[in-house]
Amino acid sequence: MKHWAYELVGKPHAPDGFGPTHYSCWGLVRAVFWIRYGIAMPEVVLNSEIHNNVRAIKEAARVSGWRRISVAQQPVNDGDILLFPKPTLHVAVAVEANNRLGVLESTNETGVVWRPWAQAVSTEAYFEIWRKE
């Protein structure tokens, strides 16, 4: 049986990509939540103002029913949104595949990839977890 994310892996990155052929990091998050949960999250067009982009993505997650949770108090779960606001804005989704937690993301260097958690997230990385209520 194929994993639901299989069709997304390998798609190229595009800064304003909302699919289905190219994905920005936020475009991929939106696609995942539409494909997996039937949730239409707001479109956020990223620009050079990182602070405004972080605020816009947080607001888009919030209005879609996600809430920030404490990284120290909760483990990351399948389906959580991972927001990396520094040094440059990046957003990804925690996805369990083959009984392993990993990160599904789109970057300029890799396009859409799924990587095991230990390879995807540095222990020094600052990130926020956003979870569906």
**How much is the pLDDT for 87?**
75
- 92-125 pLDDT per residue, tens: 999 999 899 999 999 999 999 999 998 888 766 7
The Cβ of residue 52 has, within 10 Å, a number of other Cβ atoms equal to 13
- 40-53 pLDDT per residue, tens: 998 887 766 667 78
**How much is the pLDDT for 48?**
63
Q: What end-to-end distance do the CA atoms of the chain give, in Å?
A: 29
Residue percentage of the chain with pLDDT more than 90: 51
Q: Domain 9-132 is classified in which CATH homologous superfamily?
A: endopeptidase domain like (from Nostoc punctiforme) (3.90.1720.10)
Say whether 96 sits in a helix, a strand or coil. Answer: strand
**How much is the pLDDT for 50?**
66
- 58-85 pLDDT per residue, tens: 999 999 899 999 877 788 899 999 998 8
- 79-92 pLDDT per residue, tens: 999 998 877 788 99
- In this structure, the strands spanning 128-132 and 111-116 are unpaired
**How much is the pLDDT for 131?**
93
**How much is the pLDDT for 93?**
96
Domain ranges of the chain: 9-132
